[in-house]
Structure 1
Amino acid sequence: MIARIASVLLSCVLIGGPAFAASPPAGPPAAAVRIQQLQVALIGSGAIGGGTLRFRDRSYDITVGGLGIGGIGASRLLATGSVYGLTRVSDFAGAYVQVREGWALGDKGRGTLWLRNGKGVVMRLATRRRGLQLSLGADGVLIGFRR
């Protein structure tokens, strides 16, 4: 798992992951997602958590984990937002490139996450954070379905 996240992260850095955040996704959202994570960063970063995907009137429990670069501190994150380009639920799971920015100071904090996978699924998420963290960087993220 760590090797796969590291290869996604390396691709993000080499290809210029932040460039995909500049172009908005095409069409209306296909689904909604809610993610809760614990993030820790000191130059490198790590995150673990889970959440729920709401797609075609069904809810799916998901797991989320990642490794990245950039940031300092620790925070709990709640991210909610839209999923674009999802036509089959099976296309949701897998490796994502994530571009993030945000901050947390006590119970105040905000940010934005953009995630994209190789199947054309894009997520744009607004975040609320609690803790003490400055977050700016890129990550490789693995998303799966909870069994």
Structure 2
Amino acid sequence: MRISGQFRAVFIALIAVVAASITSAAYAESGTIRISVVKAGWFIGGSGGSGTLTFRGRVYPLSIGGLSAGLVFGASQTDFVGRVSQIRRPSDVAGVYGAAGAGAALGAGARAIVLTNEKGAVLQMSGREVGLMANADLSGLVISLR
């Protein structure tokens, strides 16, 4: 009988953990995001821009900033449009996003990216890049609500 009581307690605890994770994932929502980022550099690069998050019918202004290190030459502007998922409130979008990437733009080109921050927000964006840029770098992007 003692083993079945311990088994029952472990089983109930396991069910509680699974139920909590299912309900928290079920309440996560998504929104749309539009950002415009200007990137420039010579070995070390910087980026900055602005954008908007549309979430639950409201529009929230965003500020974007970041650094890149590696092979970074030139300057470009990229206008991204996409979806942000796994958020519960607008402030979940704010945070630090890291990426490793490589690419080149001469004139106009396309770009797609998927990023995740420390709060679990997932950005899936694509857009048009204009400029003269060659990069193979590690970069960090900081998004904040204005």
Note whether the superposition's TM-score is higher than 0.5.
yes
- 2-structure distance, mates of 1:96, 1:39: 15
2:87 alignment partner, SS class: coil
More helix by share: 2
The answer as to 2:80 corresponding to 1:79 is yes
Counterpart for residue 91 of structure 2: 90
CA RMSD in angstroms comes to: 2.2
The number of equivalent residue pairs is 120
8 Å contact kept, 2:91–2:145: no
Counterpart for residue 40 of structure 2: 40
- 2-structure distance, mates of 1:79, 1:137: 19
Residue identity opposite 1:92 in structure 2: V
Displacement of 1:134 after TM fit? 2.1
Question: Structure 1 pair 116/43, CA: closer, same or farther in 2 (3 Å)?
Answer: same
1:62 alignment partner, SS class: strand
Displacement of 1:119 after TM fit? 0.6
- 2-structure distance, mates of 1:83, 1:134: 27
Q: Name the larger-Rg structure.
A: 2
2:120 alignment partner, SS class: coil
Counterpart for residue 125 of structure 1: 125
1:91 alignment partner, SS class: helix
Higher relative contact order (CA 8 A, sep 6+): 1
- 2-structure distance, mates of 1:104, 1:89: 32
Displacement of 1:59 after TM fit? 0.7
Identify unmatched segments of 5+ residues in structure 1: 1-25
- 1-structure distance, mates of 2:64, 2:97: 10
2:91 alignment partner, SS class: helix
Displacement of 1:43 after TM fit? 2.4
- 1-structure distance, mates of 2:138, 2:45: 9
Identify unmatched segments of 5+ residues in structure 2: 1-24
Structure 1 runs of 4+ with >4 Å offset: 26-29
Counterpart for residue 53 of structure 2: 53
2:74 alignment partner, SS class: strand
Question: Structure 1 pair 144/92, CA: closer, same or farther in 2 (3 Å)?
Answer: same
8 Å contact kept, 1:104–1:131: yes
How many percent of aligned residue pairs carry the same amino acid? 36
1:85 alignment partner, SS class: strand
TM-score norm. by structure 2 comes to 0.72
Displacement of 1:102 after TM fit? 3.7
Counterpart for residue 23 of structure 1: none
Residue identity opposite 1:141 in structure 2: L
- 2-structure distance, mates of 1:99, 1:83: 19
